[in-house]
Each structure stands twice: as C-alpha cells, then as structure tokens.
Amino acid sequence: MKEYKVAILGATGAVGREMMKILAERNFPVKELHLLASARSAGKILEWQGKPIAIEEACESAFEGIDIVLGAAENDIAKKFAPAIVKAGAVFVDNSSAFRMDPDVPLIVPEINPEDAKNHHGIISNPNCSTIITVTAVNALNAISPIRTMIASTYQAVSGAGAGGPIELAEQIEALRLGKPAEPKVFSHQIAYNLIPQIGGEQFEGYTSEEMKMQNEGRKIMHLPDLKGSCTCVRVPVVRSHSISVQLHFDRPISVQEAREAIANAPGCRLVDDLKKKEYPMPLETSDQDIVFVGRIRRDLTDENGLCLWCCGDQVRKGAATNAVQIAELLIEKK
C-alpha cells in the first residue's frame, strides 16, 4: 500500500491532537507525519505511535513534499497558508469555516456526499461539528423524501469551545462548591449549572454565526439548495458530545417505523430509540467514538409531513477529527 506524507496544521490544539489519535486508530498509511503549529510551540515534542515528533513552525516552506494537510487551525491561519499548500501540490482538508461556502470547495461528510470530493481544486472543507452530526442523522430520511424545512436546537458541550472549556466548567463547579464566585473567562457567562443561548457573534437578523452554519452547510452537503432552516445554538455544562433536537418537514409523510428502519441502516448512525426502556441518545454514551446516535423519533404534531428526533455525537471526533481523516481516506481511495 502506498504511504503518504501527512501534515497537521494546528497540531497542538484539541482537534489537532485528536487527528493524531484518529490517524493511528484507523491505520492511515502515513509515511511521515509533520506536526505544524506557531513559532512558540516549535521544537516541543509530541508522541505519536510510540515515537517522538518535534513540532515544526507553520510557514509556507513547511508544505513542500507533503501529500495531505489536515487543518485544525483558525480561519485566519487556514486562509494564510491555503495558497502555499495548494501550490506545493498537497490537498488541504480544512476544519475551519474559511472555505466551507466557497462554491469551488467541496464540503464533505463521507457518509453522505463522498462523490463531491473528486471535484476539489486542492482544498476540501470539513463541515461544522453540529452540522456533521445532524446531517448524518437525517440524511437517510432525506433519501426517502426530500427535506423541505429543518428546525434545530443544538446543545453543545463545553469542549466545543476548545481545551479551556472543560477546565473552566470544572473550575467553576469547584469554586461554587467552596462558596466562591464562578469567574467566566472562556465563556461570556458562568457555564456551571447554566445554559448560554449564544455561540458565535450575530450574523443575520438575530441569528449567530454558529446558527447560520447549520442551514447553509446542510444545503450544500445534502444538495438541497431550497432547504429552509432555523437553528438555535446553546452552550450547556456537558464536557463532551453535542446533542441536537431536530424537527423535519418532508414532501410526503414518513412513518415513524419507516424512519427508524432507515436510520438503523444508515452509515454512521445507530438507532437508540426505546422510550419505555429509557433508551435514547445521551452525551455520556456518545463520547469518544464516531457513531451518531439517533432516537426519540416521533410524529410532528404540527405537520402531517413532519417528524421530530434527537441525536448525539462526539463533536471532537466525528464532528471534526474523524470526519477529516475520513475525507483523507476518500482521497487515497480515489488515487
């Protein structure tokens, strides 16, 4: 089997480190792994598959000879280095939102639109974490009858805000236990024992940037240009794994049983749906794995062509790192 020179841009962050883990877990054919980060991290050592790897400073020359770059950096870094990556002949699988809505850049969830990956021009975008989890859960229903509207509420774990999120949650819980004030640093308000109904800045008519991603990215991934959507994103005091409540309206009625069978057989999904036995998707069960759990499937009481469901998935893995590595797998399969 051919082996590939792989670089991770933003290797020291939570998603970058998870990418390292996923490459090893999935036995990706890595000939060389290059870990790229800022100048202040250069020279530090990270271990991968029992071997020490020195972090290199991210610069334009760092991509020479690389086959695949997995991006785990912010938008500005992605935009800065994308031209150099493409010029070097590598394919940039980018986890930032910098290129997601560019019509010349494929936006890929491998279980849904793998064929779109062949249309890349050196850059492929990884969707937003909540978008990946949601569309993976509902795509099998879209195949039965096109989704016309989707109303979603996301319940997003603190780790979605980076490595500092879980630390702040734990520190605030301990501070409150000791009768001390909970000081917010990562989040705009206290997150311990609280919900914060804002993720991202305002983007469109009171909707945040995070909320608009669901509608815009879902249209592109599922090839539904006329999909109407509305989303509310909420940060919750859960360490890992995002949860989403989804209301869907179709061209025709889809029965609950029909939906359950479709989701049970959908790639990347697991049906967990037995209310009497108190079995449904929850963050604790869906953390540190790559399957999207789907349950609470029921008829929408406001629309005869509608269904409601609940899904959960690990936003660091399937919502980011694993999806990116799966895209890289598509690239080597096509070669």
**Catalytic site positions:** 129, 242
Residue type, 170: A
Give the whole-angstrom CA distance, residue 128 versus residue 49: 28
CB–CB of 73/9 below 8 Å?
yes
**Contact partners, residue 329, CB within 8 Å, separation at least 6:** 26, 28, 110
Asked if 294 and 273 count as a contact pair (C-beta separation under 8 A), the reply is yes
Token couple for 111: 């279980």
**Three-state secondary structure of the chain:** CCCEEEEEECCCCHHHHHHHHHHHHCCCCEEEEEEEECCCCCCCEEEECCEEEECEECCHHHHCCCCEEEECCCHHHHHHHHHHHHHCCCEEEECCCCCCCCCCCCECCCCCCHHHHHHCCCEEECCCHHHHHHHHHHHHHHHHCCEEEEEEEEEECHHHHCCHHHHHHHHHHHHHHCCCCCCCCCCCCCCCCCCECCCCCEEECCEEHHHHHHHHHHHHHHCCCCCEEEEEEEECCCCCCEEEEEEEEECCCCCHHHHHHHHHCCCCEEECCECCCCECCCHHHHCCCCCEEEEEEEECCCCCCEEEEEEEECCCHHHHHHHHHHHHHHHHHHC
